[in-house]
Amino acid sequence: MVMPTSITGVKVEFLEFPAIVTPPASTKSYFLGGAGVRGLDINGEFVKFTGLGVYLEDKAVASLAAKWSGKTPLELFESLDFYRDIIKGPFEKLIRGTKVRTLPGPEYVRKVSENCVAHMKSVGTYGDAEEKAIQKFRDAFKDQYFPPGSTVFYKQSPTGTLGLYFSKDDTIPEHEHTVIENKALSEAVLETMIGEIPVSPALKQSLATRFCEFLKDDNLFIAN
């Protein structure tokens, strides 16, 4: 594999997010756009729950370069359109969410699904199909239990396919646990992480800082 020197891994708490990942039984690799922690303020203390990493196809850089090349990290961070272009971009994304502390699947998906529904309703994309998709999404997590180090992977296609993978560590399983065909939900999952009301400002900052460098070379190519 040829890896541009500008692509490096990121450490979030005790979690290592490598610069490049290649799923099993796949010839396609994804580069790490950014990574950061997700947490909540509980009784005045910031409690960390999950380390989040967003991986993308190499063509994401060329797709974003025309509009965003030359911007500073601060300009990218302050632009919602930049993140929306990542969310809606015509390239695959692989999102990794590895637990920092124990979370039962139903508890985890309750908050994630609430955020997704709230976003879809706010932008007018929530209908009968999305309601069914959310139920399938919730059902996928009902028997899951996530100790520290365990991972949920979300694979997103530009056409709206959302694949869910569950792992006891940070390795990507060979097969999806669940596949959901709903573009609005797929986009909402990433929107809630890095969009207007993000669960991980640290991930947004990481994406802005790293893409400022990536966009200096819009011919980024990951060769296997």
Which residues are marked as active site? 38, 50, 99, 108
Residue corresponding to tokens 């005790």: 14
User: Do the Cβ atoms of 206 and 35 come closer than 8 Å?
Assistant: yes
- Alpha-carbon distance of 78 to 96, in angstroms, equals 24
User: Do the Cβ atoms of 58 and 221 come closer than 8 Å?
Assistant: yes
∠ at Cα 27 (24, 31), nearest 5°? 85
User: How many CA within 13 A on the CB side of residue 48?
Assistant: 17
- Alpha-carbon distance of 168 to 150, in angstroms, equals 4
